[in-house]
Amino acid sequence: MADMLEAPSEGAWGVRLENGYFAVIQKAGFRSVRIPVAFQIHALGNPPYTIDTNFFGRVDGAVKSALDCGLAVVIDLHHYGELRKEPEKHRARFLSIWDRIARHYQNYPDTVYFELFNEPGEGLSPVVWNALVAQTLRVVRQSNPKRAVIIDAPEWANIDGLEKLRLPENDRNLIVTCHYYNPFEFTHQGAVWIGPRADAWLGTRWPSGQVQLTAIQRDFDKIQAWSKLNKRPIYLGEFGAYSKADMKSRASWTAYVARQCEERGFSWAYWEFCSGFGAYDPPARVWREPLLKALVAPPQQ
Ligand code: GLC
């Protein structure tokens, strides 16, 4: 459900969250949604860092609608770029925001998951990130002793960051997440936020030959090896190919990545519902069939 509640204001990035979408998603065969939310945009800049109640209400409406449809929900704190740049300056605010979110949802069912921070990088080096995770968990655990919390791998949730992740050993209700966009020149061709080099990648196909399949398998073997060694479950919280790529390649890449996850027992979330990578076309109110089929088998009638 991207580009909605993590946009500077809802609608600013062209899509709005309609609570009716959750039924559409559930009926198509999905069992969970990841909702990126920019709580930090709607919180005071100074103590006590209160989160705007209207915005909290907006998020609650979405979470409740998803739960009512039987979907599990990941509440993902997204786009807190200032924390990434200046972790020390924003640490107290971040911890307070999580204290508030955690208390707010403490009585929600255990099918609500918290994801502390999307894609730590820059000033959130692996060492700084590991320390912040431990500290944030101490805060969250005061109100949610058992809830499953999702932790991003260091280095932008990249699979190579996994081996630098250090988690509190005694907290066994953690799920580790990484994001997958390889080959990047294929998945991010023409993506404006990447800059002009992404235009040079336009036309890159993903032919699904043995070379391509093996490259993905190797990456997933690496994730699986880490997961087994460290006894932590994996959630592939983002993967997708941007709309500028050709649909045939997008669908075959998407299907292959989703199956790689399933074969290894990883849960996954496609990036994303109805914006630039969208599996769903909001004006037409229809799924883009090749992508939907790539993600989930057609539902039983
Ligand atoms: C990350 C970014 C998001 C971007 C996506 C794919 O989630 O936060 O802005 O669209 O990756 O590049």
Ordered DSSP codes for 144-211: -SS--EEEEPHHHH-GGGGGG----TT---EEEEEEE--SHHHHTTT-GGG-THHHHTTT------HH
Measure 237 CA to ligand 1 centroid, in angstroms: 11
What domains appear along the chain, each with residue ranges and CATH number?
21-295 (3.20.20.80)
Q: Predicted confidence band at 298 (pLDDT cuts at 50, 70, 90)?
A: low
d(CA 75, CA 100): 13
Mean pLDDT, rounded, of the chain: 97
Model confidence pLDDT, tens digit, residues 198-212: 999 999 999 999 999
Asked if the model's pLDDT at residue 299 lies above 60, the reply is: no
Kindly state if the Cβ of 177 falls inside 6 Å of ligand 1: no
Model confidence pLDDT, tens digit, residues 66-116: 999 999 999 999 999 999 999 999 999 999 999 999 999 999 999 999 999
Strands (E), the chain: 32-37, 72-77, 112-115, 149-152, 174-180, 234-239, 267-268, 280-281, 286-287
The pLDDT value recorded for residue 290 is: 98
Asked if the model's pLDDT at residue 28 lies above 60, the reply is: yes
Region 166-187 average pLDDT: 98
Region 248-253 average pLDDT: 98
Closest residue to atom 8 of ligand 1, CA basis: 79
Measure 142 CA to ligand 1 centroid, in angstroms: 31
d(CA 150, CA 167): 11
